[in-house]
Amino acid sequence: MSLTFIAEIGMNHNGNFGLLPELIRQASLSGADIAKFQLGWRDGKDEINRLTEKELNLIVESCNFYEIEPMFSIISDSAFNMIKNFGYDFKRYKIASRTVIDNPELVKKVLAEEKETFISLGFWNKKELPFPIQSNLKYLYCVSQYPCLPNELKNLPKSFSNTEYAGYSDHSIGIEAVLLSVARGAKVIEKHFTLDKSDTTIRDHALSATPNEYLEMVKNARAIERLLSIGI
């Protein structure tokens, strides 16, 4: 399995949906395989992330044009129904660690679709896994702090291949933790993505990668992947 890079755009559009095509374009140019958004979170009336079918159309059309896969974190039952009824064959889903705890029945419904589903376990603090391992489920190691400080990464797996984790969902500042996880065998990388780290509209911007940073991260990670492939 080669590396898969998820650009977590999330709500970094700040509610300005006119930014969506540019965010997607820059994510594609920066080497991301997937442009990810959140569906079912802060989506009430007048809230920042009220995505309607119109915005979903814009996201899908922009992703198709810029040749990057669209993906959504499914955070509510209404969000899942919206995705299922949208009329587009999404290849994969994402489940946030908060949803694992707050709505496990929703997670079971998503998994029953038998599409590849990434599940972060940042809030999960039990030894046993929340859902049995199955072919379409990929767990991601995550620390749910915004931002995640270096001393909070002490439990980052030393070898991902010897754990239940397929990859790493990052909330740290910079790209070093991502590169370390790739060197330790992570095959899926999720990193927040922004056009402006100085934006204070939401906290996510500060721990996100800009297009230049994301591109540098991907290039270095791919180089590490090549070295690992020859047994170094």
What residue numbers bound the domain in which 159 lies? 4-229
What are the pLDDT digits (tens) for 41-96? 888 777 889 899 999 999 999 999 999 999 999 999 999 999 999 999 999 999 99
Question: What string of H, E and C letters represents the secondary structure of 106-156?
Answer: HHHHHHCCCCEEEEECCCCCCCCCCCCCCCCEEEEEECCCCCECHHHHCCC
- The answer to whether the peptide bond before residue 147 is cis (omega within 30 degrees of 0) is yes
Q: How many domains does the chain have?
A: 1
pLDDT score at 1: 67
- Answer left, alpha or beta for residue 34, where phi above 0 means left and psi between -120 and 50 means alpha: beta
Backbone angles phi, psi at 169, to 5 degrees: -105, 115
Angle at 166 between CA 185 and CA 138, to 5 degrees: 170
Q: Which H or E run includes 168?
A: strand 165-170
| C-alpha closest to that of 184 among 159, 165, 154 | 159
The rounded distance, in Å, linking the Cα atoms of 6 and 181 is 14
Here the CATH number for the domain that contains residue 129 is 3.20.20.70
Average pLDDT over residues 161-175: 97
Q: Which H or E run includes 188?
A: strand 188-192
Average pLDDT over residues 181-197: 97
Question: Mean pLDDT of all residues in the chain?
Answer: 95
pLDDT score at 43: 82
pTM: 0.96
What are the pLDDT digits (tens) for 93-145? 999 999 999 999 999 999 999 999 999 999 998 989 999 999 999 999 999 88
The rounded distance, in Å, linking the Cα atoms of 27 and 8 is 9
